Amino acid sequence: MDKKILNIKIPLIYHIIKHPGIQIEDIYKFIYQACFGIAHIFPSKDKFIEDLLYEIEQILKDSLSFEYQSKRYLLEYLKTDKSIARIDIYLYTKMNYSLEKLYLACLDACFEVREENKIEFITVWEDILNSFERKEKYFSTLSISKQSIFEFNNYIIKNNYPIISHSEIYKNLYKPSYRLVNPKNLLKFLPSQTD
C-alpha cells in the first residue's frame, strides 16, 4: 500500500478504535484535516483567544464533557509523520499552557492548499471508500450504511470537497473540542510525555 495512504490511514484506524460511533462525515473530516490543515481564513490572535475562552466556558458548563475526560488525549496525530495534529483545547487550557503559543501552532497548520494536497486527499478518500466496500477490519464494524456513504460521497464531489462539521452523532458522543496544530514547534514547550 502507498506510503501516503498509510501516513493517514494508520492514525485514522486508531481514531476509529477510540471512536466506534464515528460517522462517514467524521472520517472525511479526519482525512480532510490531515491533507489540508486549516484550509480557511484564520482569525487574529485576539479573536482566536476570545473564541477559545468562550468555547472552554461552554465545555465547563456541559457536565457531560467530564464523562469523557479520561478518554481524552492532549494530542492526536492525523499523520504518522506527526506533521499535523488535533490538540484538545480543554486539556491544553486545563494544564495552563500558553494560548499565544497555541495560536502560533495553529497558524503553522495553515498552509496554501496545492494540487498535490487535493490528489493526496482524493487518493486516501478513495482508499477508505474501498476499505468499506471490501469490508476491511475496523471499517466493517462501523454503523455506517452503504447508502449513507454513497449519498455523502456524491454530496462532497458535487460540492468540490467542502469543509464540513462533525456529525451530530459524533458531537454528542465525543464532545470534540480541539484545534489543528503543527505540533513541531509546540512540543518544544510541552512536557515530553505528550510526544
Position 169 scores a pLDDT of: 95
Residue with cell 458548563: 61
Beta-strand pair 75-77/85-88 = antiparallel
Q: Can you say whether the dihedral through the CA atoms of 79, 85, 90, 92 is positive or negative?
A: positive
Q: What is the rounded distance in angstroms from the CA atom of residue 122 to the CA atom of residue 117?
A: 9
The mean pLDDT of 19-47, rounded to a whole number, is 89
Strand order across the 85-88 sheet: 75-77, 85-88, 178-181
Position 80 scores a pLDDT of: 96
C-alpha cell at 12: 485514522
The mean pLDDT of 167-195, rounded to a whole number, is 81
Residues for the chain: how many in total?
195
pLDDT tens across 52-91, in order?
A: 888 888 877 775 555 555 577 889 999 999 999 999 988 8
Position 63 scores a pLDDT of: 54
Share of residues in the chain with pLDDT > 90 (%): 52
39-48, 123-132, 146-155, 156-165: which range is least confident on average? 39-48
pLDDT at 188 over 60: yes
CA gyration radius, the chain? 17
- The angle formed by the CA atoms of residues 194, 69 and 84, to the nearest 5 degrees, is 40
Amino acid, single-letter form, for residue 11: P
pLDDT tens across 99-130, in order?
A: 888 988 888 888 777 888 899 999 999 999 99
